[in-house]
Amino acid sequence: MTGCSVFLSVNFDAEAYDLKSTTEDRLFGRFSYGRYGVRAGLPRLLKMLERRGIAATVFVTASDAVRHADAMRALRDAGHEIASRGADLTPLPLLKERERDTLAQARDTLARITGEPPKGFRAPAGELGPQSLRLLAELGFAYDSSFQDDDHPYVFAPTPSTRIAEIPTVQALDDSLPFSARHTHARVVKIWREEFDALYREGCLVPLTVHLRGDIGFTRAARIAALEDLLAYMASRPGVRFRTGTELAVAALESGTTEPDPLAPHQATLSVTPYRGDLAVKPI
Output the domain CATH number for residue 140.
Answer: 3.20.20.370
CB 11 within 8 A of CB 59: yes
83 lies in some domain: yes
Is 284 within the bounds of a domain?
no
User: What pLDDT is recorded for position 274?
Assistant: 57
User: Residue 109: what pLDDT?
Assistant: 98
User: Cα–Cα distance between 157 and 169 in angstroms, integer?
Assistant: 20
Residue 169 belongs to a domain = yes
**pLDDT in the model for residue 30:** 76
Kindly give the parts of the chain with pLDDT less than 70: 1-2, 266, 269-270, 273-284
> Residue 79 is part of which domain span?
4-279
Please tell me the predicted confidence (pLDDT) of residue 69.
Answer: 97
Neighbours of 121 (CB within 10 A): 28
What pTM was computed for the model? 0.92
Number of separate domains in the chain: 1
> Which pLDDT belongs to residue 45?
97
Beta-strand ranges (E) seen in the chain are 4-11, 57-60, 81-84, 120-121, 143-144, 154-159, 162-166, 206-211, 240-242, 259-260
186 within domain boundaries: yes
Kindly state whether residue 230 falls inside one of the protein's structural domains: yes
231 part of a folded domain = yes
